Structures are given as C-alpha cells and as structure tokens.
Structure 1
Amino acid sequence: MNKSVLEKAITIAEACADAAHRTVAPYFRTPLQADAKMDDSPVTIADRAAEKAMRTIIENAFPEHAILGEEGGRSGSESEWQWVLDPIDGTRAFLTGRLSFGSLISLFHQGKPVLGIIDQPVTNERWIGVKDEPTRFISDVLPGHIGTRTSLDLSYAELSCTSPDIMSPEELLRFNNLKKVVRRTSWGGDCYAYGLLALGQIDIIAESSMKPWDWAALVPIIEGAGGRMTNWQGEPLDLNNNDGTVLAVGNPQLMPEIIKHLSAR
C-alpha cells in the first residue's frame, strides 16, 4: 500500500468530514421534506448535498479513485482505491432531532478498509481510524478517551442495536439468544453507538441489513480502539460478499462466545 496516498487521503477525508459537517448542521431540527427510497428509507436535501460536496472534494484530489455513495451510487473507474460515503447515517434520527446520526467517510485499498471517519456535526465529535494506528477522538466539549472495555464476562456486557426492526424474524431470535446473557440492551444508536464502543461505553453491537456505507468507516475506528468487527459468523466484512450482519466487539476475546449465541437457532 502506498503510504503517501494514504497520508494524503487522511487529509482529504477530514476535508470531506468538514464539508459534510458544514452542510448537514444547519438543517438539524428544521422542517425537512424526506423522500422515500426504494427500500423505504428516508433521504433529504441534506443527505444529497453533503454527499455531493464530499464527492467533489475526492474527485478533485483523487480523480483516479472509485467512489461508492449511499445516495449517488458508484462512480469512477475500477481502482485499487475506493471511497465509501454515507452523508447521514441515521437519517431517521436526524429527521426526528436525535443526536445518534453522523457522517461516515471511508477508504478501501484492494477491498479492505484502511481509513474511516465518524463525524457528529451537532456535538462536534469526530472519530478517525487508520489501519494499524490508534484511533483518534476529537471533541471540543464532550469527554471521552479511546479504548474499548476489556470485561471477560458477558453478564456485565452492554449490548446495542439500532432497532429490532432491521432484523428478520430468524435474526431477531438469534439476537435474543445473545440478549438473554448480557447485562443490558439499548436501542437507537446508529453510527454513534460504534463511536461509544470505541470509547469503552458499549461492549457489543450486533446488527443486520447493513450496507457497505453503513459499516465501512467503522471497521478502522473499532479496530484502532482495540476491538474487532466481523459479520455474525466471525468472518471479515467484505464489500462484495457480505450477508448484511455486523458484529462489533470491544474485547475480541469474547468473540467466540458471542458468535456461539448468535448462531444458535
């Protein structure tokens, strides 16, 4: 991997996060018309404008790189470098005035995520993950220190998921197997929950129906904080072959036991 490309990409990714931040924040808690996409998920003018701003920055800096965005689809020619963008992860939360949404920017090299950013434009929090480097957390006001929790007992674990509605009936049964053995389960986290896992506030996140733009940026952040991300079978997340399940764990030693519960029917 060309280190100079990655170093430049970090600067460009932060510029994208800044652009999305400036675009999205003024729309928060204002009357917005949301359109329904083919999968019935909502999209707003803020989503489209933020992605357009990020695409422009990337295309100017790296015209040879491919881009995959939730709103604009795939653009650019085949490349060993591919950006994956979600201008507002958690649009439902954004529309209802809740703070669990964020902008997600990620870069893949030869199909593997090497860079990821979560930016929360209202709380002014940002997580930056780079492959083989410690994750960084930037906040002007809110406290937080990078480092996942190392509890070895599931009975003390905090489990999170955005909503039970994202799971099929079979997946929900499997999720409930895990839910029975943890301390607590919280709902409604969107990408913000993954940032909290990187800060050691949450131990496990198990979700399904996840598209690449939902999880791409999160992998370097979680792994750079000491955790691990896979699908529910413990396999690495892949752009081309993923069943939509995502498992993020603060303590990787708990992964086999968690997967056992998620595999039971």
Structure 2
Amino acid sequence: MNIDIKADDSPVTRADREVEAHLREMIAATYPDHGIIGEEHGSTGADREYVWILDPIDGTKAFITGRPLFGTLIGLLRDGRPILGVIDHPALNERWIGGLDYPTRFCGAPARTRVCATVENAILAATAPEMFVGKPAFEGLRQRVKLPVWGGDCFNYGLVASGHLDLAVEAGMAIYDYLPLVPVITAAGGVITDWRGQALGLDSGDEVLAAGDPALHQAAVAILKG
C-alpha cells in the first residue's frame, strides 16, 4: 500500500483519492449543477445551492492498519445547511443514513439515541488523546463521565445515533469530517454542535460535540465552555 503524508501530517492512500474521484464522477453525472467539497480533491462550486461534502476514508490510519472502523462520509448541504448524511462502513457492511424529514436508519432499521441526561452517567468516546493537547476543557469533561473510551473515528457518531454511546467529542476536525454527521445525529434525536453549542456549518472551527440526549448536550457544553 502506497502511503503519503500530507501537509497536516495525516496519511493518505491511493484508495482515499480514488474513492473520492469515483464519488465525484457519480455526483457530477447525476447532479451536474451541484457543488462538491472533498478532502482529497478540493472544492468545486462551493457557492451553489446544493453542495456535497465528501470524506472518502475517515479513519485512514485504521484503514492502513487493517482495523475495520474506517468509514466513508457523504453529506449534502442546501444553502450551507446539512440536510442529508451518510456514515458507511464497508468493512463491516454497516451504514447510517439520516436527513431532513428522513429519520435516521441503521442498515435499513430505525435508529434512535438513548436517554442519558447527566454527564456522570454518560459514556464518552473520542478518537485519540492527542486531539486534545492544549485543550484542558476536554479533560474536565472526560474526568466527569461514567466511562471514557478511545478510538472509533466516525463509527462513534453512528453509535451515538443508535444509542450505544452518549457523547462523541473531537478536536482538530475539518468540515468534511463533521458536516456529514450532522443530519445522522439530529435525525436520530441527538444534538451535534461545536464545543460552544453553536450549529456546525462551512465556517465552523475544528471542535465537535455530539450527544444523544439534548439535556446531556447542554451539560457537556457548560463544562467545555468553562
């Protein structure tokens, strides 16, 4: 497997580039008036009414090392608002789809977040500790939850949507990492924002907080805001 290191020190493979190129070809053939923003091949028509957001392999490190939790993220924005999201895990043959007026489904069956209103009873997942270097607010949240776990990449957000996790928290993210997640989480009954509780959009920063229970989301935001 050929592995290159990008300017941000993240790995990229031939598969990353080819998957995105194929998705772009499919979108252009079916929706020629739509824009596309992708991790590997940049932006085309980002100012159009409809814009697709593509992360061909979210979790490239997992993909390289044979771990099955890598996934493909596909999102659709209308006037900058996420209206459709897909989290697809090809190695597991598992997929979440959710959107505006389309309740989230997992492998065809309804998916729903679970009730967990307090931080002290919550299970929190984050991909890696190094994401939070220089971000002490996260440590304050991690120390208060019932159970923190590491690893998972985009799989964590599917688990929030299906009620297996209560919180997914990340930093160092880009728009193609999180905008496809927004419809999946919200259409399953959860809330996903930045750490200050602001809606995620094209101009958002690199911090993401997803919660299955709206009350838990408010409590987590209060901790992260300090």
In the alignment, structure 1 residue 95 sits paired with structure 2 residue 57 = no
**Residue aligned with 1:40, SS:** coil
In the alignment, structure 1 residue 157 sits paired with structure 2 residue 122 = yes
**Map of 1:130 onto structure 2:** 99
Within a 5 Å distance, the mapping from 1:1-265 to structure 2 comes to: 32-76=1-45, 78-138=47-107, 146-169=111-134, 171=135, 173-240=136-203, 242-264=204-226
TM-score (norm 1): 0.83
Shift of 1:168: 3.4
**Map of 1:11 onto structure 2:** none
Shift of 1:145: 5.6
Shift of 1:205: 0.9
1:153 and 1:197 mapped to 2: Cα distance? 15
Letter in 2 for 1:44: T
Percent identity for Structure 1 against Structure 2: 45
**Residue aligned with 1:78, SS:** coil
**Bigger radius of gyration, 1 or 2?**
1
Task: Mark the runs of 5 or more structure 2 residues left unpaired by the alignment.
Answer: none
**Residue aligned with 1:134, SS:** strand
Contact 1:100 1:193 (C-alpha < 8 Å) held by counterparts: no
Letter in 2 for 1:175: F
Q: Structure 1 segments of 4 or more deviating over 2 A?
A: none
Letter in 1 for 2:174: K
Query: What do the CA deviations read for 1:101-142 (whole angstroms, capped 9, x no partner)?
Result: 100111100000001101100110011111132101117xxx
2:46 and 2:65 mapped to 1: Cα distance? 37
Q: Which has the higher helix share?
A: 1
Query: What do the CA deviations read for 1:232-260 (whole angstroms, capped 9, x no partner)?
Result: 000000102x1211000000112221111
1:222 and 1:77 mapped to 2: Cα distance? 24
1:244 and 1:218 mapped to 2: Cα distance? 14
1:46 and 1:73 mapped to 2: Cα distance? 16
TM-score (norm 2): 0.96
Shift of 1:51: 0.4
Query: What do the CA deviations read for 1:38-87 (whole angstroms, capped 9, x no partner)?
Result: 10100101101100100000011111111000000001363111001000
Please tell me the root mean square deviation across aligned C-alpha atoms, in Å: 1.3
Contact 1:161 1:187 (C-alpha < 8 Å) held by counterparts: yes
Shift of 1:203: 0.1
**Residue aligned with 1:59, SS:** helix
